[in-house]
Structures are given as C-alpha cells and as structure tokens.
Amino acid sequence: MSATTNPTTMNVAVYYNNRDVRLEQVAVPKIGAGELLVRIRASGICGSDLMEWYRIKKAPLVLGHEITGEVVEVGEGVENFRVGDRVFASHHVPCGTCRYCLAGHQSVCDMLRTTHFEPGGFAEYIRVPKINVELGTHRLPDEVTFDEGSFIEPLACVVRAQRFARMTAGQSVLVIGSGISGLLHIQLAKSSGAARIMATDISEFRLNAARRFGADATIHGTEDVPARLRDLNDGRLADLVIVCTGAMPAIQQAVKSIDRGGTLLFFAPTAAGVDVPIPLFDFWRDEISLVTSYAGSGEDLAQSIELIQTQRVRVAEMVTHRLPLAETGVGFQLTASGQDSIKVIIDPLI
C-alpha cells in the first residue's frame, strides 16, 4: 500500500540519441504483487549510457540504471520493504541457479540480460519488478546518502573486475583512462594495497582527479606510455593494466604496458565488431593473462555498499554536477566531454 496518493503521470527523460534527450510525460507505472514503486532521488549518468552505437538501436527509450530512491508504494506480499525505505535497486539481476551463475559468471546469465526496472532511472518513479525486489534491492545504510548510493552499481562492477583480475596487495597498477570508472579502479586498488598506481588520460582535468583520488603518478595519453611507465616504476612495466576506454590508441598503449606474468583487464568495450590485435606470441612467451569483466553480482553489490559505507572508497567527492530531470541532455553532454565533470547526477526533485 502507499502512504499517500501518488500522481498518475510523471516526467521522464527520453533518449533519442546522445544529442537529443527530451523531457516527456508518461503514466506512472502500476505495480503488482511483490513489486515496489520507488521515487527516484539520484540517478547517475554512466559512460555506457553514451554508447550511441548500442543505444540508438533501441531508441527512443528511458535510460538510467545507477539509481537510489524512496519506496512510495509496496505491492502485496512484499515483506522486506515498506513505504519510506531508502533503497538501491539493481536494473539487471541474475537468477543465481543457472550453470553460468553457479560457475561465477552471473553477468552472462540469460535472466540478467532480460530483467530491468520500468521505465529507467531518468524518471520520477520506477517500478521494481518482483525478481529485482527479491534479488537486487537493498536498503541504504543510514550513513550513505542518495547520491553516494548511486555509485553502488558502478563500484560493484569495479569490484568484480578486480576480483577477476586477481588484484593483490603489492602490485603495480596502470589505469588507462581516468574517467569515473578509472577513478573508482584507482581508489579500489589503493584500498586493496597496490604498491604503485599510475593513471593516464588526455584530459588534464581528469589527470588531476586521478592524483586526487590516489594515483601516485599520471601520464598524459599523448606520451610514450610504456616508456614513462618504466621511468615511474623502477624500470618495470605494470603487473596489472586496467583499460577503462574503448579508444584504440589507448588499447594499443595498454598492450605494450604489461610486465611479464602480468594481467591485462579490459573493463571498457570497443564498439561492436571492432577487432583488437593482440600479440599472441608475446603474451604466450611472457605468460600475460587477458581478462574481461562486465556488470557485477550480488556479492559485489554487498561489498560495494560496505566500501562506500566505510568510506574506503570516497564517492561523494566525485559528484561534480547535480541536475534536474529536464537537464538530463545537458548532463549527457557534460559526461561526454569529460572536461570539467566527473560524475553527473540527475535528481528529479530539483
């Protein structure tokens, strides 16, 4: 039941392309048994929201998956949540029982790729389906603000990626690309005891941010990255190279920056259909591992919440812009430019 009568219509930001995001009005979703109606309080713009080659095929649509909000209506049979609860909800959830989930590859679960809340996080309200309520919705700890909670999903992706890459204390780490994902990787690696963290970007603003959030040194992307890396890392390349951009020049730098016995982690994708040349003989001879990672599991979400709650990863300082729903398009442009923004959050209550 709901504590108050909720409106029947709401505003949403509808994505047509990266330069065309329109404020439109739609009906507030109706919930059924086992579901929640959540009023959005913070919705982060993710770099994946700007992957136009992927998004344009499904447009028009309401994007947004890094959300927190307040429960305003509870469906019949829901026992663990009530009106007024502050929550984070996962957009996609794995089943936990298929062969992929049981093998630890929840992000390729068929159910994960079909589940979502309605209509998307750039809206005043969302309907959280029963399966998402049961498997992907968490109360926010009292110490975590709505804005901080919007980092739970992206940080969980980083947690999973570094787990897959077997990040351990004492390693040297090179982060290629110092946008929001790169900065989260820097902080998590620092928290995990990395011996030395170096970061690259072509933006001085982002290089400054990388140093602020824990990088021991930065390298401008136009430099000879492997050579500078050796200068900064006692003549060695990096034990772990994390690629947080799909730009081919950055990928080529990454391939040449891994030390013997090291790991190359592809965190960001290229566009679909783009082939990346890998020097297989060199990788074979030098025992270099290549790892990819996509999304996060329930265990990663739980760890992400704990990292944010304990301030081991500082996320509040990453928020550079808070915009109303009507300015979601402006937020997309800020995120795309990366010149003076780190994290842009949409708050429909502004």
Give 22's contacts (C-beta < 8 A, 6+ positions apart). 13, 14, 16, 329
* Structural tokens at position 194: 């990395």
Q: State the pLDDT confidence band at 338, using cuts at 50, 70 and 90.
A: confident
Average pLDDT over residues 334-343: 87
C-alpha span between 46 and 332 (Å, rounded): 9
344's enclosing H/E stretch is strand 343-346
* Structural tokens at position 206: 């982002």
CATH 3.20.20.140 describes domain 9-154+296-346: no
Q: Worst-scoring range by mean pLDDT, 240-244, 271-275, 307-311?
A: 271-275
Among the residues of 73-178, which ranges form H helices?
Answer: 99-102, 130-136, 146-149, 152-164
pLDDT of residue 2: 45
The pLDDT tens digits for 280-315 are: 999 999 999 999 998 888 899 999 999 999 999 999
pLDDT of residue 91: 93
Q: State the pLDDT confidence band at 337, using cuts at 50, 70 and 90.
A: confident
Residue 184: strand, helix, or coil: helix
C-alpha span between 297 and 299 (Å, rounded): 5
C-alpha span between 137 and 124 (Å, rounded): 18
Q: Where do you find CATH 3.40.50.720 in the chain? A: 166-292
CATH 3.40.50.720 describes domain 166-292: yes
The pLDDT tens digits for 174-219 are: 999 999 999 999 999 999 999 999 999 999 999 999 999 999 999 9
Q: Where do you find CATH 3.90.180.10 in the chain? A: 9-154+296-346
Residue 83: strand, helix, or coil: coil
